[in-house]
Amino acid sequence: MISPEYIRLMAAYSHWQNTAINNAAEMLSDSQRRQQRQLFFGSIHATVSHLLWGDQLWLHRLAGTPAPAAPDIPNSLTLYAEWTSLRSAREETDQWMLDWGRRADSRDLTGELSWFSGAVQRQISRPRWVCAIQLFNHGTHHRGQVHAALTQAGAKTTDTDVPFMDSPQFPW
């Protein structure tokens, strides 16, 4: 089982890394961000859009934030057509995640969460703490893909290790 402190740490980490990814992606042109790069979702833009959609979906389920506008995974890739709107939505969603982390307590991690999964086309029920891990694991997975693509495209990225995070919330 995880703790509310884990949620706070991972929300801060996600925000730190999302900001770093977006800053590095800003160094590229729009056509470079949309270039097919053999990522699971093709381009940097599509992968960042899907990552944002996933965060919005899990935060909706776990914290009651607004549901993402796209109804499913295929539409998550084009949820935000323009980079500026994608980046703005990313910042707003990161704020929702940080807010959830600040107010999280043990009740956020107990009990079951049930939903219909479009990915596997069936009803799923899992412990809430497992779903919270999924929120953060999904983000780490796709940010890793984007980080590699950005590096290959020549953009300067940052460290990704949790102990290197510089955050007033975690003054190591």
Residue 79 maps to which CATH number?
Answer: 1.20.120.450
> Would the pLDDT of 172 be above 70?
no
In a domain, 108, yes or no: yes
What's the pLDDT tens digit per position in 42-68? 999 999 999 999 999 999 999 999 999
What's the pLDDT tens digit per position in 109-151? 999 999 998 888 899 999 999 999 999 999 999 999 999 999 9
In a domain, 168, yes or no: no
Q: How many CB atoms lie within 10 A of CB 20?
A: 18
Instruction: Place 165 in a pLDDT band, splitting at 50, 70 and 90.
Output: confident
In a domain, 27, yes or no: yes
In a domain, 142, yes or no: yes
Domain residues for the domain of 146 are: 4-161
At 40, list the tokens: 């699971």
In a domain, 170, yes or no: no
Question: Residue holding tokens 């499913």?
Answer: 72
In a domain, 20, yes or no: yes
The domain total for the chain is: 1
Taking the C-alpha atoms of residue 46 and residue 156, their distance in angstroms, rounded to an integer, is: 20
Taking the C-alpha atoms of residue 166 and residue 143, their distance in angstroms, rounded to an integer, is: 18
Residue 154, judged by CB atoms within 10 A of its CB (0-12, 13-18, 19+), counts as exposed
In a domain, 169, yes or no: no
Question: What are the two backbone dihedrals, phi and then psi, of residue 35, each rounded to the nearest 5 degrees?
Answer: -65, 140
In a domain, 152, yes or no: yes
127 Cβ neighbours under 8 A, 6+ residues apart? 109, 110, 111, 112, 113
Q: How far is Cα of residue 56 from the mean position of the Cα atoms in its chain?
A: 8
> Which residue type does 129 have?
W
